[in-house]
Structure 1
Amino acid sequence: MNERVREAAAAVQFEALADDAWLLRLGERIDDALNARVHALAARVRAQAPPWLRDLVPAYASLAVFFDAQAIQAEAVRAWLLRYCEVIEDDAAAESGAGARTVEIPVAYGGEFGPDLDAAAAQLQLTPAQLIQRHSGGDYRVAMIGFAPGFPYLSGLEPALALPRLATPRTQVAAGSVAIGGAQTGIYPRPGPGGWRLLGRTPLRLFDAARAAPSLLQPGDHVRLRAIGADEFHALVADAEVAAADGRRNADAPR
Protein backbone atom coordinates (compact mmCIF):
# COMPACT_ATOMS: atom_id res chain seq x y z
CA MET A 1 0.00 0.00 0.00
CA ASN A 2 1.62 3.28 -1.09
CA GLU A 3 1.67 6.36 1.16
CA ARG A 4 -1.20 8.09 -0.63
CA VAL A 5 -3.48 5.07 -0.27
CA ARG A 6 -2.36 4.59 3.34
CA GLU A 7 -3.31 8.16 4.24
CA ALA A 8 -6.70 7.85 2.55
CA ALA A 9 -7.43 4.53 4.24
CA ALA A 10 -6.52 5.96 7.65
CA ALA A 11 -9.25 8.56 7.21
CA VAL A 12 -11.91 5.84 6.89
CA GLN A 13 -13.16 4.23 10.09
CA PHE A 14 -14.34 0.61 9.89
CA GLU A 15 -17.14 -0.50 12.20
CA ALA A 16 -18.55 -4.03 12.29
CA LEU A 17 -22.32 -3.85 11.84
CA ALA A 18 -22.74 -7.64 12.04
CA ASP A 19 -20.89 -10.80 11.12
CA ASP A 20 -21.67 -10.04 7.46
CA ALA A 21 -21.43 -6.24 7.25
CA TRP A 22 -18.91 -3.42 7.59
CA LEU A 23 -19.76 0.25 8.04
CA LEU A 24 -17.16 2.58 6.50
CA ARG A 25 -17.31 6.04 8.07
CA LEU A 26 -15.79 8.79 5.94
CA GLY A 27 -16.87 11.63 8.23
CA GLU A 28 -19.46 12.82 10.72
CA ARG A 29 -21.29 15.67 8.99
CA ILE A 30 -23.84 16.46 6.31
CA ASP A 31 -21.74 17.84 3.48
CA ASP A 32 -22.21 17.58 -0.29
CA ALA A 33 -18.51 17.00 -1.00
CA LEU A 34 -18.29 14.29 1.66
CA ASN A 35 -21.43 12.62 0.31
CA ALA A 36 -19.93 12.69 -3.19
CA ARG A 37 -16.92 10.77 -1.85
CA VAL A 38 -19.26 8.18 -0.32
CA HIS A 39 -20.94 7.66 -3.68
CA ALA A 40 -17.57 7.55 -5.46
CA LEU A 41 -16.41 4.80 -3.09
CA ALA A 42 -19.67 2.91 -3.62
CA ALA A 43 -19.21 3.19 -7.39
CA ARG A 44 -15.66 1.83 -7.14
CA VAL A 45 -16.75 -1.18 -5.10
CA ARG A 46 -19.81 -1.82 -7.26
CA ALA A 47 -17.72 -1.69 -10.44
CA GLN A 48 -15.47 -4.47 -9.12
CA ALA A 49 -18.54 -6.69 -8.44
CA PRO A 50 -16.79 -9.19 -6.13
CA PRO A 51 -18.82 -12.42 -5.93
CA TRP A 52 -19.19 -12.13 -2.14
CA LEU A 53 -20.81 -8.66 -2.29
CA ARG A 54 -24.48 -8.72 -1.20
CA ASP A 55 -25.41 -5.03 -0.97
CA LEU A 56 -24.11 -1.47 -0.67
CA VAL A 57 -26.01 1.16 1.34
CA PRO A 58 -24.65 4.72 0.99
CA ALA A 59 -25.56 7.32 3.62
CA TYR A 60 -24.54 10.95 4.01
CA ALA A 61 -21.08 10.20 5.38
CA SER A 62 -20.81 6.42 5.48
CA LEU A 63 -21.12 3.30 3.36
CA ALA A 64 -22.48 -0.03 4.60
CA VAL A 65 -21.05 -3.06 2.83
CA PHE A 66 -22.93 -6.36 3.20
CA PHE A 67 -21.15 -9.57 2.19
CA ASP A 68 -21.61 -13.34 2.11
CA ALA A 69 -20.01 -14.45 5.35
CA GLN A 70 -19.97 -18.06 4.17
CA ALA A 71 -17.88 -17.15 1.14
CA ILE A 72 -15.31 -14.84 2.74
CA GLN A 73 -14.09 -13.78 6.19
CA ALA A 74 -14.80 -10.29 7.51
CA GLU A 75 -11.11 -9.36 7.80
CA ALA A 76 -10.54 -10.37 4.19
CA VAL A 77 -13.35 -8.06 3.13
CA ARG A 78 -11.84 -5.26 5.19
CA ALA A 79 -8.44 -5.76 3.58
CA TRP A 80 -10.05 -5.78 0.12
CA LEU A 81 -11.99 -2.57 0.84
CA LEU A 82 -8.91 -0.77 2.11
CA ARG A 83 -7.53 -0.78 -1.43
CA TYR A 84 -10.50 1.26 -2.62
CA CYS A 85 -10.57 3.86 0.15
CA GLU A 86 -8.43 6.35 -1.75
CA VAL A 87 -11.36 8.49 -2.85
CA ILE A 88 -9.95 11.82 -3.95
CA GLU A 89 -11.90 14.91 -5.00
CA ASP A 90 -11.37 14.29 -8.73
CA ASP A 91 -12.92 10.83 -8.39
CA ALA A 92 -15.88 12.19 -6.45
CA ALA A 93 -16.46 14.97 -8.98
CA ALA A 94 -16.27 12.54 -11.88
CA GLU A 95 -18.64 10.08 -10.21
CA SER A 96 -21.21 12.78 -9.44
CA GLY A 97 -21.53 13.67 -13.10
CA ALA A 98 -20.97 10.33 -14.82
CA GLY A 99 -23.82 7.92 -15.34
CA ALA A 100 -26.12 9.51 -12.76
CA ARG A 101 -29.81 9.51 -13.63
CA THR A 102 -31.91 12.65 -13.59
CA VAL A 103 -35.47 12.01 -12.41
CA GLU A 104 -38.24 14.57 -12.73
CA ILE A 105 -40.73 14.68 -9.86
CA PRO A 106 -44.00 16.58 -10.48
CA VAL A 107 -45.16 18.42 -7.35
CA ALA A 108 -48.47 20.15 -6.59
CA TYR A 109 -47.68 22.87 -4.05
CA GLY A 110 -49.84 24.39 -1.32
CA GLY A 111 -53.49 23.97 -0.39
CA GLU A 112 -54.53 20.39 0.30
CA PHE A 113 -51.18 19.21 -1.04
CA GLY A 114 -48.87 21.39 1.07
CA PRO A 115 -50.51 22.59 4.28
CA ASP A 116 -47.33 24.27 5.58
CA LEU A 117 -46.53 26.27 2.43
CA ASP A 118 -48.03 29.59 3.51
CA ALA A 119 -46.59 29.50 7.03
CA ALA A 120 -43.18 28.41 5.71
CA ALA A 121 -43.14 31.23 3.16
CA ALA A 122 -44.02 33.77 5.85
CA GLN A 123 -41.26 32.44 8.11
CA LEU A 124 -38.78 32.80 5.25
CA GLN A 125 -40.11 36.28 4.40
CA LEU A 126 -41.20 35.11 0.96
CA THR A 127 -44.50 34.89 -0.84
CA PRO A 128 -45.82 31.37 -1.42
CA ALA A 129 -45.17 31.82 -5.15
CA GLN A 130 -41.55 32.80 -4.48
CA LEU A 131 -41.01 29.79 -2.23
CA ILE A 132 -42.49 27.47 -4.87
CA GLN A 133 -40.26 28.95 -7.56
CA ARG A 134 -37.09 28.69 -5.51
CA HIS A 135 -37.82 25.26 -4.05
CA SER A 136 -38.84 23.70 -7.37
CA GLY A 137 -35.87 25.32 -9.11
CA GLY A 138 -33.29 23.57 -6.96
CA ASP A 139 -30.70 21.08 -8.23
CA TYR A 140 -31.11 18.12 -5.91
CA ARG A 141 -29.31 14.83 -5.43
CA VAL A 142 -30.38 11.73 -3.54
CA ALA A 143 -27.83 11.69 -0.74
CA MET A 144 -29.31 8.55 0.80
CA ILE A 145 -32.45 6.45 1.18
CA GLY A 146 -33.63 5.97 4.76
CA PHE A 147 -36.21 6.51 7.52
CA ALA A 148 -38.79 4.53 5.52
CA PRO A 149 -38.44 2.33 2.40
CA GLY A 150 -37.92 4.64 -0.57
CA PHE A 151 -37.65 7.88 1.44
CA PRO A 152 -35.06 10.07 -0.36
CA TYR A 153 -32.99 12.56 1.59
CA LEU A 154 -32.25 15.23 -1.01
CA SER A 155 -29.16 17.39 -0.73
CA GLY A 156 -28.88 20.68 -2.58
CA LEU A 157 -31.56 22.72 -0.82
CA GLU A 158 -30.84 26.44 -1.06
CA PRO A 159 -29.49 27.32 2.43
CA ALA A 160 -31.85 30.28 2.71
CA LEU A 161 -34.82 27.88 2.48
CA ALA A 162 -33.85 25.78 5.51
CA LEU A 163 -36.68 25.38 8.02
CA PRO A 164 -36.83 23.81 11.48
CA ARG A 165 -38.92 20.70 11.97
CA LEU A 166 -42.34 21.03 13.59
CA ALA A 167 -42.27 21.23 17.38
CA THR A 168 -44.92 18.48 17.44
CA PRO A 169 -44.76 15.99 14.56
CA ARG A 170 -47.93 15.04 12.72
CA THR A 171 -49.26 11.57 13.39
CA GLN A 172 -50.16 11.16 9.71
CA VAL A 173 -48.49 12.56 6.59
CA ALA A 174 -49.88 11.74 3.14
CA ALA A 175 -47.85 9.56 0.79
CA GLY A 176 -45.93 11.64 -1.73
CA SER A 177 -45.63 14.68 0.54
CA VAL A 178 -42.67 16.88 -0.39
CA ALA A 179 -41.16 18.57 2.63
CA ILE A 180 -38.31 20.54 4.15
CA GLY A 181 -36.66 19.40 7.37
CA GLY A 182 -33.72 21.51 8.45
CA ALA A 183 -31.33 21.89 5.51
CA GLN A 184 -32.81 18.96 3.59
CA THR A 185 -35.72 18.22 1.30
CA GLY A 186 -37.42 14.83 1.36
CA ILE A 187 -40.43 12.98 0.00
CA TYR A 188 -42.59 10.72 2.16
CA PRO A 189 -43.12 7.47 0.20
CA ARG A 190 -46.08 6.25 2.23
CA PRO A 191 -48.54 7.50 4.88
CA GLY A 192 -47.11 7.81 8.35
CA PRO A 193 -45.92 10.20 11.04
CA GLY A 194 -43.55 13.05 10.26
CA GLY A 195 -42.32 16.39 11.51
CA TRP A 196 -41.05 18.08 8.35
CA ARG A 197 -42.71 21.15 6.80
CA LEU A 198 -45.08 19.98 4.04
CA LEU A 199 -44.87 22.19 0.94
CA GLY A 200 -46.54 19.96 -1.65
CA ARG A 201 -47.19 16.45 -2.86
CA THR A 202 -46.22 14.31 -5.83
CA PRO A 203 -48.62 11.84 -7.47
CA LEU A 204 -45.74 9.47 -8.18
CA ARG A 205 -45.42 6.31 -6.12
CA LEU A 206 -41.94 6.39 -4.62
CA PHE A 207 -41.94 2.83 -3.33
CA ASP A 208 -43.71 -0.25 -4.66
CA ALA A 209 -42.57 -3.68 -3.50
CA ALA A 210 -44.11 -5.24 -6.62
CA ARG A 211 -41.81 -3.34 -8.98
CA ALA A 212 -38.55 -4.82 -10.22
CA ALA A 213 -36.83 -1.80 -8.63
CA PRO A 214 -39.13 -1.02 -5.65
CA SER A 215 -37.62 2.40 -4.93
CA LEU A 216 -38.27 4.99 -7.63
CA LEU A 217 -35.18 6.96 -6.60
CA GLN A 218 -31.71 5.58 -5.91
CA PRO A 219 -28.75 7.07 -4.02
CA GLY A 220 -26.80 9.32 -6.36
CA ASP A 221 -29.75 10.20 -8.61
CA HIS A 222 -30.24 13.83 -9.57
CA VAL A 223 -33.76 15.13 -8.96
CA ARG A 224 -35.63 17.96 -10.64
CA LEU A 225 -38.91 19.13 -9.13
CA ARG A 226 -41.60 20.39 -11.51
CA ALA A 227 -44.44 22.47 -10.11
CA ILE A 228 -47.86 21.32 -11.36
CA GLY A 229 -51.47 22.25 -10.70
CA ALA A 230 -54.23 20.24 -9.05
CA ASP A 231 -55.73 19.14 -12.38
CA GLU A 232 -52.46 17.61 -13.58
CA PHE A 233 -51.94 15.99 -10.17
CA HIS A 234 -55.29 14.21 -10.31
CA ALA A 235 -54.80 13.26 -13.98
CA LEU A 236 -51.44 11.65 -13.17
CA VAL A 237 -53.01 9.76 -10.26
CA ALA A 238 -55.75 8.48 -12.60
CA ASP A 239 -53.19 7.42 -15.21
CA ALA A 240 -51.21 5.54 -12.57
CA GLU A 241 -54.32 3.73 -11.37
CA VAL A 242 -55.17 2.64 -14.92
CA ALA A 243 -51.61 1.42 -15.50
CA ALA A 244 -51.68 -0.51 -12.22
CA ALA A 245 -55.01 -2.14 -13.13
CA ASP A 246 -53.64 -3.14 -16.55
CA GLY A 247 -50.61 -4.63 -14.88
CA ARG A 248 -52.75 -6.70 -12.53
CA ARG A 249 -54.90 -7.98 -15.43
CA ASN A 250 -51.82 -8.96 -17.41
CA ALA A 251 -50.39 -10.76 -14.41
CA ASP A 252 -53.63 -12.72 -13.91
CA ALA A 253 -54.10 -13.61 -17.61
CA PRO A 254 -53.65 -17.31 -18.51
CA ARG A 255 -50.37 -18.17 -20.20
Structure 2
Amino acid sequence: MSVPAHIKWTYLPQGDRSLLIRFSDHEVIEQEIGQLCVQAAQALRDSALPGVVDIVPSFNAVVVHHLPGELSQAALQTHIEQVLLHVFSKTANLPTPRIVDIPVCYGQEWGPDLEDLAQLLSVSQERVIQLHSQKPLLVFMVGFAPGAPYMGIHEPELDVPRRATPRTHIAAGSVAIANRQSIIYPNISPGGWHVIGRTPLTLFQPGQTPPTLLGPGDQVRFVPISPEQFQNWPAPT
Protein backbone atom coordinates (compact mmCIF):
# COMPACT_ATOMS: atom_id res chain seq x y z
CA MET A 1 0.00 0.00 0.00
CA SER A 2 1.63 3.22 -1.18
CA VAL A 3 1.18 6.52 0.69
CA PRO A 4 2.38 9.81 -0.87
CA ALA A 5 5.73 10.77 0.64
CA HIS A 6 4.55 14.19 1.84
CA ILE A 7 1.83 12.67 4.06
CA LYS A 8 3.33 11.82 7.46
CA TRP A 9 2.03 11.44 11.00
CA THR A 10 3.33 10.69 14.48
CA TYR A 11 1.70 9.30 17.63
CA LEU A 12 1.80 10.79 21.12
CA PRO A 13 -0.08 9.13 24.04
CA GLN A 14 -2.10 11.50 26.22
CA GLY A 15 -2.44 9.51 29.42
CA ASP A 16 -4.05 6.07 29.32
CA ARG A 17 -7.28 7.14 27.55
CA SER A 18 -6.20 9.25 24.58
CA LEU A 19 -3.82 8.97 21.65
CA LEU A 20 -2.80 12.06 19.67
CA ILE A 21 -2.09 11.65 15.96
CA ARG A 22 -0.15 14.68 14.77
CA PHE A 23 0.14 15.56 11.09
CA SER A 24 2.19 18.74 11.47
CA ASP A 25 4.20 20.61 14.10
CA HIS A 26 3.82 23.93 12.29
CA GLU A 27 2.07 26.77 14.10
CA VAL A 28 0.75 28.14 10.79
CA ILE A 29 -2.67 26.79 9.79
CA GLU A 30 -2.52 24.93 6.49
CA GLN A 31 -5.45 23.87 4.32
CA GLU A 32 -3.90 20.56 3.28
CA ILE A 33 -3.07 19.57 6.86
CA GLY A 34 -6.61 20.42 7.96
CA GLN A 35 -8.03 18.22 5.21
CA LEU A 36 -5.75 15.35 6.23
CA CYS A 37 -7.05 15.61 9.80
CA VAL A 38 -10.66 15.60 8.63
CA GLN A 39 -10.08 12.59 6.37
CA ALA A 40 -8.27 10.67 9.09
CA ALA A 41 -10.97 11.38 11.69
CA GLN A 42 -13.76 10.25 9.36
CA ALA A 43 -11.93 7.08 8.34
CA LEU A 44 -11.29 6.19 11.98
CA ARG A 45 -14.96 6.75 12.84
CA ASP A 46 -16.05 4.56 9.93
CA SER A 47 -13.70 1.77 11.02
CA ALA A 48 -15.42 1.46 14.43
CA LEU A 49 -12.21 0.63 16.30
CA PRO A 50 -12.81 -1.39 19.49
CA GLY A 51 -12.85 0.65 22.69
CA VAL A 52 -12.84 4.02 20.92
CA VAL A 53 -15.41 6.43 22.37
CA ASP A 54 -14.63 9.69 20.54
CA ILE A 55 -12.49 11.03 17.70
CA VAL A 56 -11.76 14.76 17.54
CA PRO A 57 -9.96 16.50 14.64
CA SER A 58 -8.23 19.86 15.00
CA PHE A 59 -6.09 22.08 12.77
CA ASN A 60 -3.08 19.74 12.70
CA ALA A 61 -3.94 16.66 14.77
CA VAL A 62 -6.59 14.08 15.63
CA VAL A 63 -7.22 12.81 19.16
CA VAL A 64 -8.57 9.30 19.64
CA HIS A 65 -10.26 8.84 23.03
CA HIS A 66 -10.55 5.21 24.13
CA LEU A 67 -11.40 2.99 27.08
CA PRO A 68 -8.19 1.76 28.73
CA GLY A 69 -9.43 -1.81 29.24
CA GLU A 70 -10.38 -2.68 25.66
CA LEU A 71 -7.03 -2.50 23.85
CA SER A 72 -3.52 -1.55 24.78
CA GLN A 73 -2.34 1.68 23.17
CA ALA A 74 0.16 -0.34 21.15
CA ALA A 75 -2.61 -2.55 19.74
CA LEU A 76 -4.83 0.49 19.14
CA GLN A 77 -2.00 2.24 17.32
CA THR A 78 -1.58 -0.81 15.08
CA HIS A 79 -5.27 -0.66 14.15
CA ILE A 80 -5.07 3.10 13.55
CA GLU A 81 -1.99 2.69 11.37
CA GLN A 82 -3.81 0.24 9.11
CA VAL A 83 -6.74 2.63 8.71
CA LEU A 84 -4.50 5.62 7.95
CA LEU A 85 -2.38 3.70 5.47
CA HIS A 86 -5.55 2.81 3.59
CA VAL A 87 -7.22 6.23 3.63
CA PHE A 88 -4.06 8.01 2.49
CA SER A 89 -3.10 5.42 -0.13
CA LYS A 90 -3.09 6.52 -3.74
CA THR A 91 -6.03 4.20 -4.47
CA ALA A 92 -8.38 5.28 -1.66
CA ASN A 93 -11.68 6.88 -2.70
CA LEU A 94 -12.15 10.04 -0.65
CA PRO A 95 -15.68 11.36 -0.02
CA THR A 96 -16.91 14.54 -1.69
CA PRO A 97 -17.15 17.32 0.92
CA ARG A 98 -20.58 18.67 1.82
CA ILE A 99 -21.12 22.29 0.71
CA VAL A 100 -23.26 24.42 3.03
CA ASP A 101 -24.48 27.92 2.18
CA ILE A 102 -24.54 30.29 5.17
CA PRO A 103 -26.56 33.50 4.64
CA VAL A 104 -24.95 36.55 6.24
CA CYS A 105 -26.24 40.09 6.76
CA TYR A 106 -23.08 42.20 6.75
CA GLY A 107 -22.41 45.48 8.55
CA GLN A 108 -24.58 47.89 10.55
CA GLU A 109 -26.00 46.40 13.75
CA TRP A 110 -25.29 42.86 12.49
CA GLY A 111 -21.61 43.49 11.79
CA PRO A 112 -20.42 46.31 14.06
CA ASP A 113 -16.72 45.86 13.15
CA LEU A 114 -17.11 45.93 9.36
CA GLU A 115 -16.54 49.67 8.93
CA ASP A 116 -13.49 49.80 11.21
CA LEU A 117 -12.06 46.68 9.64
CA ALA A 118 -12.40 48.13 6.15
CA GLN A 119 -10.52 51.23 7.29
CA LEU A 120 -7.82 49.08 8.89
CA LEU A 121 -7.36 47.18 5.64
CA SER A 122 -7.61 50.36 3.50
CA VAL A 123 -10.40 48.89 1.38
CA SER A 124 -14.14 49.48 1.05
CA GLN A 125 -16.70 47.59 3.10
CA GLU A 126 -17.95 46.08 -0.15
CA ARG A 127 -14.45 44.73 -0.80
CA VAL A 128 -14.34 43.09 2.64
CA ILE A 129 -17.68 41.42 1.94
CA GLN A 130 -16.48 40.29 -1.48
CA LEU A 131 -13.29 38.81 -0.06
CA HIS A 132 -15.18 37.09 2.75
CA SER A 133 -17.78 35.47 0.50
CA GLN A 134 -15.87 34.82 -2.70
CA LYS A 135 -14.82 31.21 -2.11
CA PRO A 136 -15.80 28.21 0.05
CA LEU A 137 -13.95 27.76 3.32
CA LEU A 138 -12.99 24.49 5.00
CA VAL A 139 -14.42 23.77 8.45
CA PHE A 140 -11.24 22.69 10.24
CA MET A 141 -12.87 21.93 13.58
CA VAL A 142 -15.79 22.70 15.87
CA GLY A 143 -14.36 24.62 18.75
CA PHE A 144 -14.80 26.52 21.98
CA ALA A 145 -18.62 26.35 22.13
CA PRO A 146 -21.05 23.65 20.89
CA GLY A 147 -21.46 24.08 17.14
CA ALA A 148 -18.87 26.86 16.74
CA PRO A 149 -16.95 26.21 13.48
CA TYR A 150 -13.43 27.40 12.74
CA MET A 151 -13.19 28.02 8.98
CA GLY A 152 -10.44 29.06 6.59
CA ILE A 153 -8.28 30.00 4.97
CA HIS A 154 -9.04 33.54 3.74
CA GLU A 155 -6.89 35.41 1.26
CA PRO A 156 -3.88 37.27 2.73
CA GLU A 157 -5.78 40.52 2.15
CA LEU A 158 -8.06 39.52 5.05
CA ASP A 159 -5.22 38.70 7.42
CA VAL A 160 -6.02 40.65 10.57
CA PRO A 161 -5.22 39.92 14.24
CA ARG A 162 -7.82 39.57 16.94
CA ARG A 163 -9.34 42.71 18.44
CA ALA A 164 -7.16 44.50 20.96
CA THR A 165 -10.07 44.47 23.41
CA PRO A 166 -12.45 41.47 23.40
CA ARG A 167 -16.20 41.96 23.79
CA THR A 168 -18.07 40.50 26.72
CA HIS A 169 -21.30 40.08 24.75
CA ILE A 170 -21.57 38.88 21.13
CA ALA A 171 -24.94 38.01 19.62
CA ALA A 172 -25.74 34.45 18.58
CA GLY A 173 -25.08 33.89 14.89
CA SER A 174 -22.37 36.56 14.69
CA VAL A 175 -19.83 35.95 11.93
CA ALA A 176 -16.32 37.13 12.80
CA ILE A 177 -12.82 36.98 11.36
CA ALA A 178 -9.22 36.93 12.63
CA ASN A 179 -5.95 35.36 11.50
CA ARG A 180 -7.33 34.52 8.03
CA GLN A 181 -10.14 32.50 9.61
CA SER A 182 -13.86 32.91 10.19
CA ILE A 183 -15.92 31.74 13.11
CA ILE A 184 -19.65 31.80 13.85
CA TYR A 185 -20.70 32.30 17.46
CA PRO A 186 -23.58 29.81 18.01
CA ASN A 187 -24.88 31.51 21.13
CA ILE A 188 -24.41 34.70 23.15
CA SER A 189 -20.84 34.72 24.40
CA PRO A 190 -17.71 36.83 24.85
CA GLY A 191 -15.20 36.93 22.02
CA GLY A 192 -12.24 38.76 20.58
CA TRP A 193 -12.71 38.43 16.81
CA HIS A 194 -13.91 41.15 14.41
CA VAL A 195 -17.69 40.79 13.96
CA ILE A 196 -18.58 41.67 10.35
CA GLY A 197 -22.04 40.12 10.01
CA ARG A 198 -24.65 37.77 11.38
CA THR A 199 -26.45 34.70 10.09
CA PRO A 200 -30.11 33.96 10.85
CA LEU A 201 -29.33 30.23 10.96
CA THR A 202 -29.12 28.29 14.22
CA LEU A 203 -25.85 26.40 14.52
CA PHE A 204 -26.57 24.23 17.54
CA GLN A 205 -29.83 22.44 18.34
CA PRO A 206 -29.26 19.72 20.96
CA GLY A 207 -32.61 18.07 20.21
CA GLN A 208 -31.67 17.29 16.61
CA THR A 209 -29.41 14.67 15.04
CA PRO A 210 -26.77 15.80 14.40
CA PRO A 211 -27.08 18.71 16.84
CA THR A 212 -24.61 20.91 14.94
CA LEU A 213 -25.29 22.54 11.58
CA LEU A 214 -21.63 22.31 10.51
CA GLY A 215 -18.94 19.71 11.06
CA PRO A 216 -15.25 19.22 10.25
CA GLY A 217 -14.70 18.74 6.55
CA ASP A 218 -17.70 20.77 5.40
CA GLN A 219 -17.15 23.52 2.85
CA VAL A 220 -18.95 26.76 3.78
CA ARG A 221 -20.06 29.40 1.29
CA PHE A 222 -21.05 32.73 2.85
CA VAL A 223 -23.96 34.29 0.94
CA PRO A 224 -24.66 38.02 1.50
CA ILE A 225 -28.29 38.85 2.32
CA SER A 226 -30.14 42.12 2.99
CA PRO A 227 -31.42 43.30 6.38
CA GLU A 228 -34.95 42.58 5.13
CA GLN A 229 -34.04 39.00 4.27
CA PHE A 230 -32.41 38.59 7.67
CA GLN A 231 -35.45 39.89 9.54
CA ASN A 232 -37.84 37.72 7.53
CA TRP A 233 -35.78 34.54 7.68
CA PRO A 234 -37.88 31.57 8.84
CA ALA A 235 -37.42 30.54 12.45
CA PRO A 236 -35.80 27.11 13.02
CA THR A 237 -38.19 24.20 13.41
TM-score (structure 1 length as normaliser): 0.83
Provide closer, same or farther for how the CA distance between residues 174 and 89 of structure 1 changes in structure 2, counting only shifts above 3 A.
farther
Secondary structure, aligned partner of 2:53? strand
Unaligned runs of 5+ residues in structure 2 are none
Q: CA separation in 2, counterparts of 1:8 and 1:74?
A: 26
The separation in 2 between residues aligned to 1:49 and 1:37, in whole angstroms, is: 19
Q: SS of the counterpart of 2:140?
A: strand
List per-residue Cα deviations over 1:68-105 (Å, max 9, x = no partner).
Answer: 3333222211221122344658579x63xx33211110
Output aligned runs, 1:132-151, within 5 Å. Answer: 132-151=129-148
Correspondence for 1:176: 173
1:106 counterpart = 2:103: yes
Comparing 110-119 with 158-167, which one deviates more in the overlay?
Answer: 158-167
Aligned partner of 2:190 in structure 1 is: 193
Runs of 4+ in 1 over 6 A off after TM superposition: none
CA contact (8 A) 2:105 2:199 kept: yes
- 1:44 equivalent to 2:43? Answer yes
2:17 matched residue in structure 1? 20
Q: Does 1:84 align with 2:83?
A: yes
Distance 1:187 1:51, change over 3 A: same
Larger Rg: 1
Q: How many angstroms apart in 2 are the aligned matches of 1:198 and 1:52?
A: 41
SS in 2 for 1:149: coil
Q: Specify the SS of the correspondent of 2:21.
A: strand
- In the alignment, residue 39 of structure 1 is paired with which amino acid? V
The answer to whether structure 1 residue 240 and structure 2 residue 232 are counterparts is no
Give the partner amino acid of 1:158. E
Measured at CA, do residues 91 and 27 of structure 1 come closer, stay the same or move farther in structure 2, by a change above 3 Å? farther
Give the superposition deviation at 1:209: 1.5
DSSP 3-state at the match of 1:84: helix
Flag structure 1 segments of 5+ consecutive residues without an equivalent: 244-255
Measured in 2, the distance between the counterparts of 1:46 and 1:166 equals 37
1:202–1:137 CA distance, 2 compared to 1 (3 A): same
Which residue does the alignment assign to 2:126?
129
Query: Could you tell me whether the CA contact under 8 Å between 1:57 and 1:63 is conserved in 2?
Result: yes
Q: Which residue matches 1:74?
A: 73
Using the alignment, how far apart are the partners of 2:145 and 2:56 within structure 1?
14
Q: Which residue of 2 aligns with 1:31?
A: 30
State percent identity of aligned pairs: 37
Distance 2:232 2:52 in 1: 42
CA 166–90 in structure 1, closer or farther in 2 if over 3 Å, else same = farther
CA contact (8 A) 1:138 1:156 kept: no
Contact 1:117 1:199 in 2 (8 A): yes
Give the residue type in structure 2 aligned to 1:197: H
Cα distance in 2 for partners of 1:18, 1:172 equals: 36
Aligned twin of 1:152: 149
Q: Equivalent residue for 1:221?
A: 218
TM-score (norm 2): 0.89
Q: 1:187 to 1:127 in 2, by over 3 A?
A: same
Tell me how far apart the structure 2 counterparts of residues 170 and 85 of structure 1 sit (CA, whole Å).
41
Structure 2 CA distance for partners of 1:213 and 1:88, relative to 1, 3 Å: closer
Conservation of the 8 A alpha-carbon contact between 1:12 and 1:85: no
- The number of residue pairs the alignment matches comes to 233
Counterpart residue identity of residue 36, structure 2: R
Greater helix proportion? 1
Query: 1:122 Cα shift?
Result: 1.3
Which residue of 1 is the match for residue 63 of structure 2? Answer: 64
